[in-house]
Amino acid sequence: MAVVKAGAFALIRLTYYTYGTEFLSGRWVQYAVMAVAAFTILYGSVNALRQKHFKRRLAYSTVSNLSYIAFAVTLMTPAGLLAAFCHLVFHSVIKICAFFAAGSVLHYSDREYVPQLEGLGRKMPWTFTFFTISALALTGIPPFCGFFSKWYIATAAIESGSGLAVAGTAVLLVSAFLTACYMLSPVILAFFPRKDVPNDLTKVKEANWRMLIPMGVCAVLCIVFGLFAKFPIELFREVLML
């Protein structure tokens, strides 16, 4: 997660602090990258929904959410910069929690694919509770932190006045719906399995405390950054000198 976020951070630095928005704003390159980012948001979301492999689904989700950051960056406004940085930080916490949960499932149940998750919530309640929190946060449901970063991106796009940026908000809405589908379907399978599907869970057990504590910390941060979003966002404003 640190590697992919380094690329997003580099994009922010190059756009706002190396070339500068005064030089790039209004040029064809701004709209070209914005269009590619909007397309990739949908591309990553659609492919995440199509994936049956649990961790690969999360990986395609990361492709989509990195494009959220790129889309916000291409707005080239102070609001867009703040929105990009918010999503860079908040998405990191959310997705680390989700990947920790997926790794825990793989290690303690030896299951890699989403259809194999049926009923696991009863054997691994803490793991799937933490994953549920990350799923709700990534979907953008309040009061989790993902809601605020996505809200800032959408409002920054509308305030920019660019026709392409405003059209991009429709892409964000479609992506939010797809995110709900691909993130919450494992939760439903885990906690509400179908009765007619055989699934041997005798060897499945909950993750140990060494794996649960990092997941729990990230899950708590998803909630705390949402309930008290004003504090980190004001901190981001100071860091970005806005």
Decide if 201 contacts 125 (C-beta within 8 A): no
* Between residues 173 and 18, the one the model is more confident about: 173
Q: Place 32 in a pLDDT band, splitting at 50, 70 and 90.
A: very high
Residue range of the domain that includes 159 = 2-240
- pLDDT (average), residues 105-131: 94
Q: Is the pLDDT of residue 41 over 90?
A: yes
Strand, coil or helix: 153: helix
For residue 150, the Cα-to-chain-centroid distance in whole angstroms is: 9
Dist. CA 219–CA 217, nearest whole Å: 5
Strand, coil or helix: 230: helix
Q: Which residues contact 200 (CB under 8 A, 6 or more apart)?
A: none
Strand, coil or helix: 206: coil
Count of the separate structural domains present in the chain: 1
Q: Is the pLDDT of residue 51 over 90?
A: yes
pLDDT at 206: 94
- Give me the helices (H) in the chain, please: 2-12, 21-24, 28-50, 54-73, 78-109, 120-123, 125-139, 145-160, 163-191, 209-227, 230-240
Name the residue among 63, 94, 225, 71 with its Cα closest to residue 148. 225
pLDDT in tens, 195-237: 766 677 878 899 999 999 999 999 999 999 999 999 999 999 9
Dist. CA 38–CA 70, nearest whole Å: 9
* Between residues 69 and 204, the one the model is more confident about: 69
In the numeric block, which tokens belong to residue 229?
């979003």
pLDDT at 202: 79
Name the residue among 238, 220, 235 with its Cα closest to residue 96. 220
* Average pLDDT in the chain: 93
